């Protein structure tokens, strides 16, 4: 009887625990590296924050900042933050390559330093009027590329 009571109590505690969304978890590895032939992004996890480092042809300077997870379909990641001195909204979407398909960069390559590309990545800045003194050209509608989760 005591064992049954203890099992029932443990089960009740499990149901009473707050539900954790799959999107509350961090990336499956310490970093994501991706991009295309003319741009690159690195997403790193630092505690519970994701930080981006972005190199694009529209900016001489490397861009960076924190991102936060938002709801995305199962198996995908969507993060939001800001970019540039104007603090334009920035959305980063990462989705696995569908079985039987490949992700290719603009040179037609299906892999890079970290092996075959297993994810597609879209980085979409919200167009904004450039701030006085900004050192970048206007943002495009999006940057599209491929990438992988990595251990470094």
- What pLDDT, in 10s, does the model give residues 74-119? 889 999 999 988 888 999 999 999 999 999 999 999 998 889 999 9
pLDDT for 17 beyond 50? no
**Res 129: pLDDT:** 66
64 pLDDT band (50/70/90 cuts)?
very high
Q: Which residue has the higher pLDDT, 57 or 26?
A: 57
% of the chain with per-residue pLDDT over 90 = 55
Instruction: Please give the pLDDT value at position 2.
Output: 38
> Is the distance from CB of 148 to CB of 42 less than 8 angstroms?
no
Using CA atoms, how far apart are residues 57 and 136, in angstroms rounded to an integer? 9
**3-state secondary structure (DSSP) of residue 16:** helix
Task: Give the pLDDT of residue 44.
Answer: 93
Average per-residue pLDDT in the chain?
81
Residue linked to tokens 């310490």: 30
| pLDDT band of 27, cuts 50, 70, 90 | low
Question: From CA 64, how far away is CA 53, in angstroms rounded?
Answer: 4
C-alpha angle with apex 69: 67 to 71, nearest 5 degrees? 145
């Amino acid at each position: 009887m005591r064992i049954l009571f203890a099992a029932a109590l443990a089960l009740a505690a499990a149901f009473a625990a707050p539900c954790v969304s799959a999107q509350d978890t961090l990336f499956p590895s310490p970093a994501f590296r991706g991009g295309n032939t003319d741009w690159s992004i690195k997403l790193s996890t630092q505690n519970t924050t994701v930080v981006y480092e972005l190199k694009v042809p529209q900016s001489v300077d490397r861009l960076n900042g924190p991102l936060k997870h938002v709801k995305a379909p199962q198996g995908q990641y969507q993060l939001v933050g800001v970019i540039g001195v104007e603090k334009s909204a920035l959305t980063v979407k990462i989705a696995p390559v569908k079985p039987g398909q490949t992700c290719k960069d603009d040179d037609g390559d299906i892999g890079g330093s970290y092996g075959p590309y297993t994810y597609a990545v879209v980085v979409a800045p919200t167009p904004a009027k450039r701030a006085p003194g900004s050192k970048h050209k206007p943002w495009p509608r999006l940057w599209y590329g491929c990438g992988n989760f990595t251990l470094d």
